[in-house]
């Protein structure tokens, strides 16, 4: 699973279209983790061959990279 604190941190920067808040059943979500199991990124397929990418920063916060 995805830690609630990480979801909250990503939701703070989700931006246009609110891709996290508007997740639909069947939407493809990919989670990247490091060897320690810490989430380092999350990709959401939003349709029309587009993706939203969230990446963890060195301070533990997330940015929306695309």
Mean pLDDT of the chain: 94
- Please report, for the domain that includes residue 42, its CATH number: 3.10.450.350
Q: Report whether pLDDT(66) > 80.
A: yes
Residues 6+ positions from 10 with CB-CB distance below 8 Å: 20, 42, 54, 62, 64
pLDDT at 48: 85
Q: What are the E-state strand segments in 1-66? A: 29-33, 39-47, 50-56, 62-64
Q: Report whether pLDDT(57) > 80.
A: yes
Residues 6+ positions from 58 with CB-CB distance below 8 Å: none
The tally of domains found in the chain comes to 1
Q: Report whether pLDDT(45) > 90.
A: yes
Tokens of 49: 């061959």
Q: Report whether pLDDT(9) > 80.
A: yes
Domain coverage including residue 58: 4-64
Taking residues 18-26, report their average pLDDT. 93
């Amino acid at each position: 699973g995805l830690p609630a604190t990480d979801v909250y941190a990503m939701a703070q920067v989700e931006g246009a279209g609110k891709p996290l808040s508007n997740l639909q059943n069947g939407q493809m979500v990919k989670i990247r983790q490091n060897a320690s199991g810490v989430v380092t990124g999350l990709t959401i397929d939003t349709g029309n061959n587009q993706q939203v990418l969230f990446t963890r920063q060195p301070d533990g916060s997330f940015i929306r990279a695309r």
